[in-house]
């Protein structure tokens, strides 16, 4: 279970590829300056932010956040991608579909994020099914709700990012016969433009540099 992201990084897709079922946690509070509406690609000068402008108050859930359509963000993102990756062999392979997705008439950020996620997981050869927490009708506080979602799907193991170690009640899960497995992600290196390798970028960087060979990083 993870919150959605804009053009997510490789660690996100590693979690997705490892699981039998993946829950997008879309009905929790939107975190300003988080990864829901932005990510990084690589420019000749180093990491470059791509940010989707949004209307987001402090009380809004992720699925309620709308995109600020008055700003021409999609054209800027496409322009940056074309400029920074023009020497990549696979830009022309992915760009048409990427343009189609980015320039569609999106109202809600969650819809943009979900369609990009679905497309990127297909490009990466990941077949894991995805559901949204808002569609499950599962209640509870932070730990209890996560547990209840696992029980809803009769899960015996819960694969979690290490960031959750500060709050996840592992003993509660164990008492309910659910094993918590922490992600141990060793970021791979791959051929990449613009000098020294930079990790923790959007997975789009891998796709544009490596094309269909990107699938080997998620082969099981």
Domain for residue 94, yes or no?
Answer: yes
Q: Residues 31-57: pLDDT tens digits?
A: 988 999 999 999 999 999 999 999 987
| Whether 56 contacts 32, CB under 8 Å | yes
**pLDDT at residue 91 in the model:** 97
Write a three-state SS string for the chain: CECCCCCCEHHHHHHHHHCCEEEECCCCECCCCCCCCEEEEEECCEEEEEECCEECCCCCEHHHCEECCCCCHHHHHHHHHHHHCCCCCCHHHHHHHHHHHHCCCCCEHHHHHHHHHHHHHHHCCCCCEEEEHHHCCCCCCHHHHHHHHHHHCCCCEEEECHHHHHCCCHHHHHHCCCEEEECCCCCCCCCCCCCCCCCCCEHHHHHHHHHHHHHHHHCC
Domain for residue 209, yes or no?
Answer: yes
Angle between helices 91-102 and 109-123 (to 10 degrees): 160
Rounded CA gap, 82 and 91, in Å?
A: 8
9 pLDDT band (50/70/90 cuts)?
very high
* Residue 63 confidence (pLDDT) above 70: yes
Domain for residue 181, yes or no?
Answer: no
Domain for residue 178, yes or no?
Answer: no
Domain count, the chain: 1
Domain for residue 133, yes or no?
Answer: yes
Domain for residue 187, yes or no?
Answer: no
Q: Residues 90-133: pLDDT tens digits?
A: 999 999 999 999 999 999 999 999 999 999 999 999 999 999 99
Domain for residue 21, yes or no?
Answer: yes
**pLDDT at residue 54 in the model:** 96
Q: Which residue has the tokens 């809004």?
A: 60
> How many residues in total does the chain contain?
220
Summary mean pLDDT of the chain: 95
* Residue 220 confidence (pLDDT) above 80: no
**pLDDT at residue 58 in the model:** 75
Could you give the percent of the chain with pLDDT greater than 70?
100
Q: Residues 177-197: pLDDT tens digits?
A: 999 999 999 999 999 999 999
Range of the domain at 76: 10-138+193-218
Higher-scoring residue by pLDDT: 218, 6: 6
The dihedral formed by the CA atoms of 44, 49, 76 and 85, expressed in degrees to the nearest 10: 30
Q: Which two tokens stand for residue 64?
A: 């309620």
Rounded CA gap, 21 and 40, in Å?
A: 27
Rounded CA gap, 121 and 126, in Å?
A: 5
**CA 5 to chain centroid:** 4
| Whether 116 contacts 94, CB under 8 Å | no
Domain for residue 4, yes or no?
Answer: no
The whole-model pTM stands at: 0.95
Q: Which residues pair with 43 in a beta bridge?
A: 46
Could you give the percent of the chain with pLDDT greater than 90?
92
Work out the average pLDDT over 155-174: 94
């Amino acid at each position: 279970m993870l919150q959605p992201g804009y053009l997510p990084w490789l660690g996100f897709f590693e979690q997705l590829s490892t699981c039998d079922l993946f829950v997008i946690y879309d009905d929790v509070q939107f975190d300003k300056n988080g990864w829901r509406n932005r990510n990084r690609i690589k420019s000749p000068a180093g990491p470059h932010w791509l940010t989707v402008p949004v209307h987001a108050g402090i009380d809004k859930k992720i699925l309620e956040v709308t995109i600020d359509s008055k700003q021409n963000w999609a054209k800027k993102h496409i322009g940056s991608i074309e400029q920074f990756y023009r020497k990549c062999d696979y830009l022309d392979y992915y760009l048409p579909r990427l343009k189609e997705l980015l320039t569609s008439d999106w109202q809600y950020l969650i819809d943009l994020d979900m369609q990009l996620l679905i497309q990127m997981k297909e490009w990466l050869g990941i077949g894991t099914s995805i559901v949204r927490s808002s569609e499950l009708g599962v209640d509870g506080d932070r730990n209890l709700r996560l547990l209840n979602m696992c029980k809803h799907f009769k899960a015996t193991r819960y694969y979690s990012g290490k960031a959750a170690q500060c709050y996840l009640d592992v003993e509660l899960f164990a008492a309910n016969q659910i094993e918590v497995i922490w992600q141990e992600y060793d970021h791979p290196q791959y051929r990449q433009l613009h000098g020294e390798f930079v990790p923790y970028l959007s997975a789009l960087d891998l796709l544009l540099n490596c094309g269909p060979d990107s699938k080997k990083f998620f082969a099981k």
